[in-house]
Amino acid sequence: MRDRTIRYYLDLISVLVAKELKVRYKNSYLGYFWSLLNPLAMALIFYFAFKVIMKVPIENYSFFLITGLFPWQWFSNSVGSSPGYLIGNASLIKKVNFPVYFIPLTNVLNDAVHFLLTIPVIIIFGLLFSKIPSLVWLLGIPLWFFAQFLLTYGSALLISSINLFFRDLERLVMVFLLILFYITPVFYDITLVPEKYRKFLYLNPVSGIIMGWRDLFMKGVFDFGLYFLYLSYSLILFVFCFYVFKRLSYKFAEVL
């Protein structure tokens, strides 16, 4: 019986993720490339604005940009669409008794798969700047992936559930993501930030994760101290968000 339940949950997740993957680009010609074009276009704009015009003192700036933008894209896509996760599945939640937290989970995993598919592009960019993937990646990619997954899934749980009660959140999330983008070292390096503001940037949980990815992809470095700090941070946030979601989940069918 227990075995069947676990098996069933795994099937449920895999089928829902497969559905999201199929549906997203079903009616478009470029399909998967859309998930690359968006961050690449952003990279191009930032390159032009900050390297060509403002001449930031960062080496290999285009490579620098995409190592930050690709992971950011995952976080931002998942969180940005999270207000709609539960509303979009209203008829299901109202009728079928199944673990509702699977809905945000499959959406976040779907964006995660897209992120993983962009790693080859990062490798190609790296090779252009004669950076060869290092063995540390084998350790670093799954570990940073896990930390970012916890943070992203937690945020998606929190926002998708609270949005059912305060629908304005949907608009606020957009503003919030925009602000967050600028206080995360995605297109600049943390060392360029004046000393007195730097500690506030470290408080932002996404900062550490983006810095972690960048160290890994650009320098082949995995910093255990940084990792465990931000892993714990993400874990605490995740536990809190999951708790809120569970507490509210009894009310979902009432308000949908």
Partner 1 sequence: MKEKVIIFERVVKSYPSYTHITGGIKNFLIHFNKSIKNFRKRHVVLKEISFEISQGECVGFIGRNGVGKSTLLGLIAGVLKPDSGRIFVKGKVSPLLELGAGFHPDLTGRENIILNGILLGMTKEEVFSKIDSIIEFSGIKDFIDQPIRTYSSGMVARLAFSVIAHLDPEILLIDEILAVGDIEFQKKSYNKILEFKQKGITMVLVSHDLENIKKLCDRAIWLEDGKIKKDGNPDEVVEEYRKSITKE
The piece of 5-13, 75-83, 114-122, 191-199 that touches partner 1 (CB under 8 A) is: 5-13
Q: Which residue has the tokens 């191009």?
A: 44
Task: Please report the DSSP string for 37-96 in residue order.
Answer: HHHHHHHHHHIIIIIIIS--S-TTHHHHHHHHHHHHHHHHHHHHHTHHHHHTTHHHHHH-
Q: How many residues contact partner 1, by CB under 8 A?
A: 30
d(CA 45, CA 188): 14
The piece of 23-31, 130-138, 151-159, 183-191 that touches partner 1 (CB under 8 A) is: 23-31
- Binding-site member from 2, 52, 55, 95 for partner 1 (CB under 8 A): 95
- Binding-site member from 178, 192, 203, 253 for partner 1 (CB under 8 A): 253
- Binding-site member from 34, 44, 45, 94 for partner 1 (CB under 8 A): 94
CB of 13 to partner 1, least distance (A): 10
34-41 own/partner pairs: CB under 8 Å, 24+ apart? 35/73, 35/114, 35/117, 35/118, 36/118, 36/121, 38/73, 39/66, 39/69, 39/70, 39/72, 39/73, 39/118, 40/66, 40/121
Q: Return the number of the residue (166 or 228) whose C-beta is nearest partner 1.
A: 166
Site string for partner 1, 111-150 (x = CB under 8 A): ----------------------------------------
Q: Does residue 166 touch partner 1 according to CB under 8 A?
A: yes
241 Cβ contact list (under 8 Å, min separation 6): 154, 155, 157, 158
- Binding-site member from 2, 4, 55, 199 for partner 1 (CB under 8 A): 4
The piece of 50-58, 76-84, 107-115, 162-170 that touches partner 1 (CB under 8 A) is: 162-170
Q: Return the number of the residue (97 or 130) whose C-beta is nearest partner 1.
A: 97
Torsion of CA 78, 84, 85, 86, to 10 degrees: 150
d(CA 208, CA 38): 23
CB of 101 to partner 1, least distance (A): 14
Q: Does residue 247 touch partner 1 according to CB under 8 A?
A: no
Q: Does residue 182 touch partner 1 according to CB under 8 A?
A: no
Q: Does residue 3 touch partner 1 according to CB under 8 A?
A: no
Q: Does residue 219 touch partner 1 according to CB under 8 A?
A: no
Helices (H) and strands (E) in the chain, counts: 12, 0
Q: Does residue 19 touch partner 1 according to CB under 8 A?
A: yes
d(CA 152, CA 250): 23
First vs last Cα of the chain: how many Å apart?
32
- Please give the helix or strand (H or E) that residue 10 lies within, else none: helix 2-24
Q: Rule CB under 8 A: which residues touch partner 1?
A: 4, 7-8, 11-12, 14-16, 19, 22-23, 26-27, 91-98, 165-168, 250, 252-255
